[in-house]
Chain A
Amino acid sequence: MNDRILETKGLKKAFGPKEVLKGLNLSAERGEVVGILGRNGSGKTTLFSILLDLMSADGGSAEILGLRPDGSGRLRGLIGYVPEKPAFHGFMTAREVLEFRARFFRHWDMAKALDLCRKLELDPASRVSAMSKGNLAKLAWIAATAHNPELLLLDEPTSGLDYLVRDHILNGLIHELTEGGRTIIVANHRMGEMGGILDRVCVLKDGAIAANHNAAFLTEEVFRAAARLESPVSLPAGVVALGGGGALREFAVFGRENLERLKLDPAFAGAEISPLSLEDSFKVLLGE
């Protein structure tokens, strides 16, 4: 059985003169949790729309679960999708939403959906038009997972959720899903909160995957180096200046080898080395 659940090659998309995706290559294996890290407008939602077969690519190819997006909507029957801004018909109750969706998804598990309602404390009788942002997000989570999809696309999935629900989802639901061999592609501004579940982080920048790091690498091999410089220094790849003034400067160093190389630089009179937090690593990756 093929373990590659998702693969895009040279994916391109432009809106008028603005090129949003410029040859994006991305892949995900079965059971893998991949974080897509990108700033606002970097193309995350566009990428998801193409993967969901909601939007057609201008160029390149995509293959998801052995299918190519063809406009038929078949792919969406196999994918669980939590949008950044969940939307449902306001005249329906949560139960009606779930029952309506059950007619479209072959593997819909109503018992599971109602069980999730209970776990996430969502009243099935509540009307969508009266739901808070958090409850809409809960309903989106339930709708995305009740048909047991092999692939989940999560676009800012914790947006609007309070701490307890977020914790329940991140530490309960997603773990449960990953342990069940589901593949998850997640885009999140606050990627730090996902840290524990991510296998890999892809940095989406200028319409392409600019960097691709294992989660272990980000947690174990990224350092903060506070150094006194005796002369100007040219920074090698994998070292990013963070700030400081005068002779005292701070750097983020990606990879132990780069750190060793930096230490040997004659310009460095001395340095204080500490691990860089995941949150800060993501910020550096995003170029903030």
Chain B
Amino acid sequence: MKNLIILQFRKSRLPFLVLAGAVLLSVPAALLFRPDSFTGAEAVNIAMLFWALAGLPLAIMTLAGTAGSDAASDASRAAEQPLPASQYRQVLSGLAAAAAQTALLLLAIYAIMGFSVPLDKLNFVNAHVARHYAFYAAFLVLYSFTLSYAFRNAVAGGLAAAALLVLTALPLLSAALFGELLLDLIPLAFINTLTAVLALAGALGALHLLCRAYARREAGRTAKALLSALLLAAPVLPPFFGLAALRAKAADVTWPVYPLVINSDTPQAAPGVMLAQKPFTGEVFLIDEAGRRAVVFPEDSDRGIPNYFFPVPSFVRGQTLSASDGSVWIYCNRYDKPAVLMNGSAAAGLKLRSTLPDSRRAYLVRGKVPAIVERRKNGAYYAPLRTGTGPLKWEKTGMPEAAAKRWLAGTGEEALLDAFLRARLAGAPGVAVVSTDGRTVTSGGEKWTVPGALGSKSPIVGARLNDGVNYIVPAGEGKDYAAYLCPPGKKARKLWQGYFRFGSNLWSATDGTLWGYNRKLRVEVTVKTIFGKTKKDLESPQFNILTRDGRSIESFSLDQILRDLPGAKGEIALVREENGEFWFTIGNAYLVKTGADPHGPYSYWKLPQSIQEKYWRSNLLATRNRLLIAALDGVHFIDWEGSSGKL
């Protein structure tokens, strides 16, 4: 075999030497003709990148294609076939020589680049191509050679190989892009490996069959040619089936619809319903805990061929808000369609109340009455939300000059709204205002005095406990703060040490239980490496809890439970309290029920798999009776004792 490879190398040494010389000559050429803005190294690197992305593929098609067509030529066969080596080995020697020449050229280019990819920061496509470059190069060598052997024509073979490579690589790239979005819906590593194995086996198998059919002129030549075609097409199949499977699975991926901003002024979402979206189909719907659903945006079936290969998720931002009659207001904004404002329920369906064609951003806001604020080109508009059929009554809102300037500059939107909403919030039910000295909190006819000034003089949203609306305020205490509870009909009293404020680190569970955290909200417990599992220092939240009946629990820790649960990570939230038992969600992965003793018995249930929450907030929504989970394959539920199902 060695002698045959040497022979093949010698046969193609001229084109190889020309190409190798061109690679080497491009170094002084790049230095000579470099633009002033480039350093010498940058100019050479760019020349090498050109070689890697365009020159080398063409060189491979030329070298391997020529070798393949030469192996099939009558002249070569006449000169080489009398040698006492199998014809297949003789053909393989041509392939091996082309592969070796490719490897040498690649090595030369890589060496000139200093054995690293000379890009400061690789975008995803660059990184993917760099990671799979050797596979693509090997694929092109194998297929250019084999197809040129089959066609007895280097040009046709090289072009066909390039086309097959594109057909194979595109779905792989697309699937990898999904993976990059953390949508590990298919076993991509397996598909990649299978594709590589099939490419190698397919090309070598096809070459063997073609050799038997055309060189040895075996019987059944048509069948062998057809089988060869199938073998050559084989590596295209896993990426395409993978992509098809990926698309089918992606169509079911469900996310909650998140509001544009969340802060202390953001009204609570309508309870008992989840506004959910399927980003790869464009469907947006409202679903209640009984599984009834009403469509906001239907599935968008016409997304075009480019979208087939590179499916682009379209995300919707929006909010829900309870109306006084128990129905739900929905605001939804999708970048490619006019925003909509709807009203109704999951059970009875939704009615379009208004389209907002000029809407850049809009918010459902609390106030004396629920309302929508819309940002338009010429300013911000405000409309109270009243159920019924009449049109919305918009009024232009004034804005402070400074806020307007920041808004025009594209920033400060929240500041604008903040200023506006303060006025609307003041006097609204369940909202307290703070005196100018920051020590007095007033709501309705009630007034509370705290020992230190409040950190912020913004209106304070109250929380409804069993005894009525309570306010928790962070009052100054030396250099620190303490959280004070302002209960109805009673004096303010110190609740917890530390700064706690709604929308910052204080939240209300669906059942009304208040919980705040310090240290951090997320938890990182373990890191798995190829060397085993490494325990990192556990840094998990410590919770302060105020139950509906006014019991306070401080520094509640889940550390022991977090250590026990494999892979527990992400945000931890209290979702329910009942008779001294607490239900927490850990990331999107677990529902945990535990008593007040953090070292006592606990139960936990694994949640259906949902999109990892690296970039996304919780995919969970607690209702009165169960937890809704926007999962990979739709919306699931789990009740408080672990019974679960798909809605």
Contacts and interface: CB of A to CB of B under 8 A. Distances in A.
A72 B86 contact: yes
Contacts of B86: 71-73
A55 B216 contact: yes
Contacts of B10: 91
| Among A85, A89, A101: residue with most chain B CB under 10 A | A89
Contacts of B7: 89, 100
Contacts of A83: 78, 82
A85 B79 CA distance: 10
Interface string B258-295: 00000000000000000000000000000000000000
A13 to B, nearest CB: 8
Interface in A70-113: 71-78, 81, 83, 85-89, 91, 100-101, 103-105
Contacts of B212: 56, 71
Contacts of A86: 78
B81 A54 contact: yes
A105 B89 CA distance: 16
A104 B216 contact: no
B283 to A, nearest CB: 57
Contacts of B79: 87-89
A85 B83 contact: no
A152 B530 CA distance: 64
A77 B216 contact: no
B618 to A, nearest CB: 65
Interface in B205-248: 212, 215-219
Contacts of B78: 83, 85-87
B84 A104 contact: yes
Interface string B85-112: 1111100000000000000000000000
Nearest to B10: A91
How big is chain B's contact interface, by range? 20 to 34
B88 to A, nearest CB: 8
B3 interface: yes
A222 to B, nearest CB: 36
Contacts of B81: 54
B82 A76 contact: yes
Interface string B1-19: 0010001001100000000
B82 to A, nearest CB: 5
Given A87-B75, A91-B10, A52 B217 contact: no
Contacts of B83: 73, 76, 101, 104
A87 B73 CA distance: 12
Nearest to A54: B81
For the residues of B in contact with A, the DSSP-based class is: helix
A163 interface: no
A104 B88 CA distance: 16
A186 B81 CA distance: 19
A110 to B, nearest CB: 15
Interface string A188-204: 00000000000000000
A54 B216 contact: yes
A58 B219 contact: yes
B217 A56 contact: yes
B225 to A, nearest CB: 13
A153 to B, nearest CB: 10
B182 to A, nearest CB: 52
A73 B216 contact: no
B87 A105 contact: no
A77 B81 CA distance: 11
A71 B79 CA distance: 17
A13 B11 CA distance: 33
Contacts of A52: 82
Nearest to A72: B86
A128 to B, nearest CB: 9
Contact of A77 (B84, B89, B218): B84
Nearest to A92: B10
Given A87-B75, A91-B11, A15 B84 contact: no
Given A81-B82, A87-B75, A54 B87 contact: yes
B5 to A, nearest CB: 12
Contacts of A81: 82
A191 to B, nearest CB: 24
A207 to B, nearest CB: 15
Contact of A56 (B84, B85, B218): B218
A73 B84 contact: yes
B11 A100 contact: no
Contacts of B84: 73-78, 104-105
Interface of B: 3, 7, 10-11, 75, 78-79, 81-89, 212, 215-219
- Which 9 residue pairs of A and B lie closest in terms of their CB atoms, listed nearest first? A77-B84, A87-B78, A76-B84, A87-B79, A73-B86, A58-B219, A103-B3, A73-B85, A56-B218
25 contacts: A13-B217, A49-B217, A52-B82, A54-B216, A55-B217, A56-B216, A56-B217, A56-B218, A58-B219, A71-B87, A71-B88, A71-B212, A73-B85, A73-B86, A73-B87, A73-B89, A76-B83, A76-B84, A86-B78, A87-B75, A89-B7, A101-B83, A103-B3, A104-B3, A105-B84
